[in-house]
Structure 1
Amino acid sequence: MSHLFHAIIHSPFLPVPFRPGAAAAPSLGVNVAWPSRALRLPRASADKREQAMEEQGGAAALGWAARDATGVLSPYNFSRRVPRDDDVTIKVLYCGICHTDLHVIKNYWGNAMYPVVPGHEIVGVVTGVGGGVTRFKPGDTVGVGYFVGSCRSCDSCGKGHENYCAGVVLTSNGVDRAHGGAATKGGFSDVIVVSEHYVLRVPDGLPLDRTAPLLCAGVTVYSPMMRHGLNEPGKHLGVVGLGGLGHVAVKFGKAFGMKVTVISTSPSKRQEAVEHLGADEFLVSRDPEQMKAAMGTMDGIIDTVSAWHPIAPLLALLKPLGQMVLVGVPNKPLELPVYAIVPGGKGVAGNTVGSVGDCQAMLEFAGKHGIGAEVEVIKMDYVNTAMERLEKNDVRYRFVVDVAGSLGSAA
């Protein structure tokens, strides 16, 4: 097996060159070009959505919305729904910016329901509760993540995996069937109304701006680490990519007591990974000698890269029975040669965010260990520039909008 891996680690983040006359390596096409998040977005008709919005009749809200595929955001006035018995009304304080927001406002996934108010990494304060709410009261500091509803009756919901419910209602650009099929409006707004079942309690002491990205990026890496046993002291974790998700994975791995190696194409990130984030080692994936020396040393890998890259060289880094989890979403299908997993009994899994329980547990763990994302806080009037920079990966590591400090004078 080692000679096969050695043949491809000379350029692990480039396609394996085809040699005329050589037999093609057996492979499985792993198509992750269309994330499950996007596939679950059935469209309501424009007329039905507009009618549902008019019938909401709730409190006036001010947000920033994209009106078309240019993705340009500008002030937008709309109404939130009338709160129901189990609803919590939240003043939005901060909202992180995720790559998903960029994909949706520019309609890269073909599912945008304009006008789109992005934002699903929301931290705020409760300003009102319905009569049936038991877990929250006005003044509580809370969070809202990637989804704000699910069917609550399917097998996934019954097992506490609402994030995999076929009827999941996304926080932004989702179809809220329980409220007339209205398109959901996210956290780039001054107020949001959410059922208490999907609201999270933010532990005291966590900086609110640095907490916002944990509600998506944080739980996206935390939940598979817990599920696949990549949370045990002494185990060796590889983190592929040092971006919005990867840098949080490093922090969680170290808090679990693991040995953490950052795997990157960019040698310039070594100092940041080791000296600032506390990684134990740094591996340049384009260096064949480094890759060869690290083969068979890792218990698990969290792959956060959203650009196309070969994964066979990364699988070679795993010990027998090791587990790779893909949380990035490349736009082109990845290729999985069967020889990279079968002989070593290795596993490849995917993960999308986490359940409500996962997210609450993640926040409690972050509070206990003082974990927050590295952020650049911006005002709402900078958001279009931030989106341009995000598309160029020009951010360290997450933009967070100071919503409460922006929208009072935005329109």
Structure 2
Amino acid sequence: MAEWTVIIKNNSGSDFLISDLGVDIQDASTVNLHEEAGFAEIADSDDLKDALTAGTLVLNDGTSDLSPADAVNYLSRIHRKFLEENYFNKTELSTPGSASIDYENIANAPTFEYAFWYDNVKFRVLGLELPTAPSSPEEGDVYVDTLQNYQKWDGSAWQDLGAALIGDRVIDLASADQDIMTWDGVVWDIAEPDLKSNAAVTVTDDGDGKAARYVYNKTEGVWKKDYDVDFDPHLKRGDHVLKHDADQIEVENAYSNIGSSANDDMESVISAIDTKIGTIEGGNLSDINIQNGIVYGRDTVRNKWMGPREDFIFSRSGFTRKSYLMIGDVPSNQGGVRVQRNMTITAISCQLDLSGSCTVEVRKNDGSTPIATLTISSAEGAHDNTLNVDVVEGDFLQVYVDAVTLVRSPTVKITAAYNGGSL
């Protein structure tokens, strides 16, 4: 779409956060908002329109400062132009050839249909009731002779696979449309009179002794192989490729009929797992602590029981300078990520699209004071895996990027572990 200039000035005497954009406009600053947010976001921002109407912010279109009313109208024109250039109207959609990209103009347009599955077929045959074998066969080729027997070429000779059974289905490659034929005990009949363009069928043996899926191309009148189908048998419960004798391994209660005279060649070791206190017999400390079904490990650096880790991703597409990063399509200042248990932030990382400098601030519960920070200095990214910041169940995390100059497409990952308490 056409480029629009949206310059925002803040001379209100205090910083102003455009909440639904997550963009912070510092007092006495000028921000090229079109560099930090998409035109659709800008035009749809009710918080920006309210601030312009109230005179808190001023919009400059690249030529002059606009009055509050003109500024709102300017955003409306952006919105209308965006819709015109990115969406088809009702007339365009209903008139063939009028849309910029019209389906009828696509020569090789695919059929957007689900696969129509036919019953399985046994073989793809070179012909039916042939008095003589086909010349120049390839390994795996099959045909039906005058006795209604299947003949398969093994690379050096034709092998008789036996007679066709009533109900057998095959694809006749010699027919004009490669019809699916079925044997009724007397004659071969067409099983599917009108093959669909999205037809699919499984061929039990397509020449290599294995099954394969084929899809029908109605325009060309041919079946085309899609992929092989694995019909290898699965191991039954209790089967295992590893075999052992009963006296070579000790498994408690596994061999109840073995007498006391059996020899054990493997030493049995009992591993204690403490459930809460963190000590085992003799006063030694356990490395595992289980609380409410959650396994915690000993973190001697942070002096805590640390459980499963979770990663939280915050990002923003395009350039930004003083903005909250997004969770999905929502600026994190409008929600954030809520933690379900007491947790400890153990690491943070940030990656930029281009080298830049900024400070990443992890905030919580709509506060402006960071609980953790990460600084990037003239680089594409940075990380810190030494953090030890506790948050409690019900806290919600937000991420703010503070930069003097624009940085591009920051993506921040916060890693936090369940906190099982002090060691």
The alignment's TM-score, normalised by the length of structure 2, stands at: 0.17
Greater Cα radius of gyration, structure 1 or 2: 2
Write 1 or 2 for the structure with the bigger share of strand.
2
